[in-house]
Amino acid sequence: MDAASPAAAVWRQACLAAALFAIDPAGTGGVLLRAPPGPARTRWRALLVSLLPEDAPLRRVPAGVGDDRLIGGLDLPATLRAGRPVIDRGLLAEANGGVLVLAMAERLSPSLAARITAALDSGEIVVEREGIAARAPTSFGVVAEDEGIAEEAPPPGLCDRLAFHLDLSHLSIRDLPDPPVARRDVLAARGALLTIDMPESALRTLCATALAMGIASLRPPLLAARVARAAAALEGRVSVEEGDLIAAATLVLAPRATQIPASAEEESPPIEERPPAEPEAGEPNEEPDAEQGPLEDRVLEASAAAIPKALLDRLAPSRRLSRQASTAGKSGLAKRSLRRGRPIGSRPGRPHAGVRLNVIDTLRAAAPWQRLREQTAAAAEASQRRRLRVLADDFRVTRFKQQSETVTIFVVDASGSAAFHRLAEAKGAVELLLADCYVRRDQVALIAFRGSEAELLLPPTRSLLRAKRSLAGLPGGGGTPLSAGIEVATTLALNQQSRGVSPLLVFLTDGQANIARDGQPGRAQARADSEAAAERLAREELSALFVDTAPRPSEAARSLAARMDAHYLALPRADAHRLNAAVRNSRGA
């Protein structure tokens, strides 16, 4: 099996989760293992057992276990033999220092799940029944085996307390290479776990990542912190570093995401700005690399890339809707920046080229620590102790928000059939919209397709004169290379989006293609090429409006609009003014 295949990557992550769980079972809570009976689940469980200490107990809890066996109670046969009450230790107490395996966790009753979660939270078992009262300490991790299908799942309260959520349901025996972890490394990490330092900045990074992913519970970032410490111990480090945070966010936070995080869009600094001063000799350069970005952004980017594909597919529609809703009524998409725009607060970070230090927030962050820092500087001179002590972790940089520009890209069908019906209306709509964009300082572009190719007649511009000249010279007639028009429009929209401009695509066509992408005539191939180009546009998540210019609304145009995830609008009797109003409403103007 290819070591770079997706299945191999999933198995490597599962093996890493097993190692980190074996290092700190009680601290990480446990593992939610979604997998049917088979080689993947069997081999992962065998790997976990091989990584645990030899004296670590492993108890399996069947689905229908009763309270007598789970939490303990009066052992009647032993009591009769001894002539005094004998308490039977339950599975929860027997698992102290080890692992509790929940078989068929998707069928776990709420009452049974409540007893297990209570023991996880309190670290002890309380037995008060059958005339006995006893307490027993317990500390264990949980492996919840989920064999459910469709909507079946273990209780949410239990899942929230388990750090790792693994899905091995699609792995076969060919996808299971040798585990990349060794037992001696895990045992050494268990001994060094308590010595691992967790900086405050690392905790802030994990909390910010969880917030960006829409995770409302406070437990996941706390569990991620325990996992990061275990990862640092496994690597033989004394403090949590960036790689440990990325591993924790990937394993703990990514599978819990409820939204796809919007990455911070930062503009490059102007060319004329002077680069930051070089550090003095012997002084370490601690400023973050401007290309890499702050630690929070790097961890968020890595964890967002690790969101499982099935979860990503479920979140993608909501992301698209939220993105379209966020631009309604605005001239452009609101984006964050560290360099220009309207100030919206600050964030931890180091000032570098184009990034401004927020002095007030920096002093506010340093103020609560002055007394403690004063005590640590007891050996310093009195004059130095009276100074305000500001450390690198106190630095705050200003964040800004600004509205990006918008460009409306008209893709006009100038073929023979369209020219007969709607080309005059399309020209008038572009002229009216351009006049409106001139007031709003937005841009308009024009793409026409006819004959065997598509052509960019008007690059993004605000010039009313250039637009009128381009429209006046737009001829009509010839075939309909619809796929070429969609591809040219998609390329232009992506180019504008990479420059920070929010594009809106407006297609004016009847959807009847008869020229294939290679320029050859043929309705079947032309239709297939058009559908493929429309699906690519939908994957790029570009906002689009499909205006059906046929005399009567056609099913072909409606189907093509659905493939490109565009808003469909049929205008069988529209004039230029109504078409312009429809475009403005779609743009949110």
- For position 384, what pLDDT does the model report? 55
- For position 433, what pLDDT does the model report? 66
| Triad 221, 223, 227: Cα angle to 5° | 110
What residues does CATH 3.40.50.300 cover in the chain? 6-182
pLDDT above 80: residue 329: no
- For position 130, what pLDDT does the model report? 63
Six token digits for residue 337: 């920046």
- For position 326, what pLDDT does the model report? 44
Give dist(CA 8, CA 177) in Å, integer. Answer: 7
Which CATH architecture group holds 6-182? 3-Layer(aba) Sandwich (3.40)
pLDDT above 70: residue 287: no
276 falls in which pLDDT band (50, 70, 90)?
Answer: very low
**Which whole number is the average pLDDT over 321-350?**
55
Distances (CA, A) of 39 to 308, 320, 503: 21, 38, 49
Task: Identify the residue whose tokens are 């689009």.
Answer: 544
Six token digits for residue 410: 């008209």
Give dist(CA 116, CA 93) in Å, integer. Answer: 11
- For position 62, what pLDDT does the model report? 84
Give dist(CA 576, CA 426) in Å, integer. Answer: 7
Give dist(CA 233, CA 239) in Å, integer. Answer: 8
Give dist(CA 523, CA 481) in Å, integer. Answer: 10
Q: Which of 124-138, 513-527, 540-554 has the lowest mean pLDDT?
A: 124-138
221 falls in which pLDDT band (50, 70, 90)?
Answer: very high
DSSP E strands in 70-161: the ranges are 72-74, 87-89, 99-102, 124-129, 132-137, 141-146
Beta bridge partner(s), residue 102 = 61, 144
What residues does CATH 1.10.8.80 cover in the chain? 196-260+295-326
pLDDT above 80: residue 382: no
The per-residue pLDDT for range 489-501, each reduced to its tens digit, is 999 999 888 877 8
Q: To 10 degrees, the CA torsion angle through 80, 86, 90, 92?
A: 180
Q: Which SS3 state, helix, strand or coil, does residue 273 take?
A: coil
pLDDT above 50: residue 45: yes
User: What is 406-587's CATH number, 3.10.105.10, 3.30.450.20, 3.40.50.410, 3.30.70.1230?
Assistant: 3.40.50.410
Interhelix angle 183-192/219-234, rounded to 10 degrees, is 120
Please give the CATH topology (third level) of the domain spanning 196-260+295-326: Helicase, Ruva Protein; domain 3 (1.10.8)
Q: Which of 55-69, 266-280, 457-471 has the lowest mean pLDDT?
A: 266-280
Q: What is the separation, in whole angstroms, between the first and last Cα of the chain?
A: 53
CA proximity to 167, closest of 4, 19, 306:
306
Pairing assessment for the beta strands 443-450 and 453-461 based on DSSP bridges? antiparallel
Give dist(CA 407, CA 445) in Å, integer. Answer: 7
pLDDT above 90: residue 223: yes
C-alpha 444: how far from its chain's center? 32
Give dist(CA 123, CA 116) in Å, integer. Answer: 10
Distances (CA, A) of 97 to 24, 37, 250: 10, 27, 27
Six token digits for residue 584: 């403005």
Is the distance from CB of 456 to CB of 495 less than 8 angstroms?
Answer: no
Greater pLDDT, 446 or 206:
206
Is the distance from CB of 143 to CB of 31 less than 8 angstroms?
Answer: yes
Beta bridge partner(s), residue 502 = 406
31 falls in which pLDDT band (50, 70, 90)?
Answer: very high
- For position 15, what pLDDT does the model report? 92
The per-residue pLDDT for range 569-588, each reduced to its tens digit, is 776 554 556 666 666 665 55
Pairing assessment for the beta strands 443-450 and 406-413 based on DSSP bridges? parallel
What residues does CATH 3.40.50.410 cover in the chain? 406-587
Instruction: For residue 146, report the phi and psi dihedrals to the nearest 5 degrees.
Output: -105, 110
Six token digits for residue 487: 């591809």
Hey, what long-range contacts does 75-81 have (CB within 8 A, 24 or more apart)? Answer: none
- For position 447, what pLDDT does the model report? 87
Q: To 10 degrees, the CA torsion angle through 45, 51, 57, 62?
A: -10
Residue positions counted in the chain: 589
Could you tell me what percent of the chain has a pLDDT over 70? 73
**Which whole number is the average pLDDT over 128-145?**
82
286 falls in which pLDDT band (50, 70, 90)?
Answer: very low
- For position 216, what pLDDT does the model report? 85
| Triad 461, 585, 258: Cα angle to 5° | 100
271 falls in which pLDDT band (50, 70, 90)?
Answer: very low
Q: What is the DSSP string of 7-48?
A: HHHHHHHHHHHHHHHHH-HHHH-EEEEE--SSHHHHHHHHHH
Greater pLDDT, 234 or 357:
234
Beta bridge partner(s), residue 421 = none
Is the distance from CB of 74 to CB of 130 less than 8 angstroms?
Answer: yes
- For position 22, what pLDDT does the model report? 93
